[in-house]
Each structure stands twice: as structure tokens, then as C-alpha cells.
Structure 1
Amino acid sequence: MRRLYLSSTFLFWLLVTAFWAGSLWAPPPLEAGAVAAEKTYGAADLARHATPANCWMAIRGGVYDFSSYLPEHPSRPDVIEPWCGREATEAYNTKTKGRPHSPYADGLLDKYRIGKFAVDRP
């Protein structure tokens, strides 16, 4: 019984030491409020994703990949498809009919965000 106790105690402290040593090699955690660098896309990048099967849009400074969302959108896809591959903030803000999207829709944007939009300057 004593042998079982000693071997299990040794194994326990060996594992504790291994976890501690592993934490020394792990990258430091991000500070509160810190955000990982986001990829930046320009208008040319958006233009390469202008089909319903590969649909990116820039909205409010972010770039979103809506390819998988188009079939799930509550309205007809042909309402959204013309905005694939383009800057679509005004269309999103007004639904092209003067009505804003719901807070629920705003919350969905984060799920599809892939980067930020850089306005190309001449």
C-alpha cells in the first residue's frame, strides 16, 4: 500500500511539474482589450469575390464573406447578389429601401467578418 501511495504521489508531482514547464513555453495571453492583427483587403480584393458562390462585401470598414450566408438570408438572394464584391455600407444601412437592419443582423456580422477594408487611394 505504501508503494502505491509513493508511486501515485511521485506521478502527481511529475505531472504538476510537466504542466508548469509547459506553461513556460506557451505564448503569453493577450492583454484585456488587445485584438490580434486583422488582415486588410482593398477594392481589388473584393472584386475577385463577386459571385453568389464566393460573395464578399465591405460594410462599415469591415470585410465579410457571406458565401455561406446567402442561402440563409430571409429575403430573395437577388436583393443581395448585386453587392457581392463591392463596398455595401449604404445598401446595408438602408436595405436599399430606407430601413435599417435589425440589431440581430448587426450581431451576425461578426460571424462572417474576415478582415478590414482599406479604401484604395489614387
Structure 2
Amino acid sequence: MMRNFFIFSTVTFWLAVAVFWAADVWLPDEAPRPDSVAANKTWTLVEISQHDTAEDCWMAIDGAVYNLTAYLPEHPSNPAVILPWCGKEATEAYHTKTKGRPHSSRADQMLSTYLIGTLIRP
């Protein structure tokens, strides 16, 4: 009796592992993000300047516009470091961290997840 239970449990376990592995291989991770749609949306500095608080923080960096509101609490340093740049063009601040040091490539990858459009310069 116990041996049959052990065999059944083992087979069930490995079957479940195989199903999860197959699902990971053949199913997409998530719905593709329409970055091209976000990149086609355009914003002016006047529009961006209306989003200058911790509860609504947008920035223009390298000609792209990002909504960093959700990221502020996750920033490794104090969010107060970022707040002065909310609602502004912050390319230089981003590339130098205002101390002459660039952000990491990981930060660049994370930044792309907050893309909401492109900056239009007058």
C-alpha cells in the first residue's frame, strides 16, 4: 500500500514538473508590451511639467518620456534625490546622478519599462 502511494506521488510530482516546464517553454511570458504605441505618444515639456510630484512623477530623459511614479518607492537611495527632477527634462541628471557617475546598465533596462512616449521639443 505504502509503495503504491510512493510511486503514485513520485509520478504525479514529475508529471507536474513536466507540465510547468512545457508551459514555460511554449507559452509566452506575458502579453507583449506595446512599446511602439508608447513610443508613438508625444509629450511637450509643458505637459510633462504638470507631473512634478511624488504622486505623479514624469521625466524626460534622452528625448523619451517616463512615468516614474511607481518606481520612486523602489529607488535604491532616498526618493528625495529624484523628486527635484519630476516634471522636468532630466537627461544630464540621469547620466551623471548629479555627481558625475552614470547609472548602471540595469538601471537603463529598468527605465525602459516606464516609457510612456517621446518628448517634442518646440
Instruction: Show structure 2 runs of 5+ residues with no match.
Output: 1-35
Matched AA of 2:73: P
How far residue 57 of structure 1 moved from its aligned partner, in angstroms, is 0.1
Matched AA of 1:43: L
Please point out which of 82, 85, 96 is paired with 2:84: 82
**TM-score, scaled relative to structure 2:** 0.68
**TM-score, scaled relative to structure 1:** 0.68
Larger Cα-atom Rg: 1
Give the match for residue 119 of structure 2: 117
**Per-residue displacement from partner, 1:48-82 (whole Å, max 9, x unpaired)?**
10001000000001000000000000011110000
Instruction: Show structure 1 runs of 5+ residues with no match.
Output: 1-34
Please point out which of 93, 96, 100 is paired with 1:94: 96
Residues in 2 aligned to 1:59 and 1:76: alpha-carbon distance in whole angstroms: 20
| 4+ residue runs over 6 A deviation | none
How far residue 96 of structure 1 moved from its aligned partner, in angstroms, is 0.2
Give the match for residue 72 of structure 1: 74
Q: Give secondary structure in 1 for the equivalent of 2:40.
A: coil
Residues in 2 aligned to 1:44 and 1:63: alpha-carbon distance in whole angstroms: 12
How far residue 110 of structure 1 moved from its aligned partner, in angstroms, is 1.2
Residues in 1 aligned to 2:110 and 2:62: alpha-carbon distance in whole angstroms: 14
**RMSD over aligned Cα, in angstroms?**
1.0
Q: How does 1:28-67 map to 2 (within 5 A)?
A: 35-36=36-37, 38-67=40-69
How far residue 109 of structure 1 moved from its aligned partner, in angstroms, is 1.3
Q: Give secondary structure in 1 for the equivalent of 2:98.
A: coil
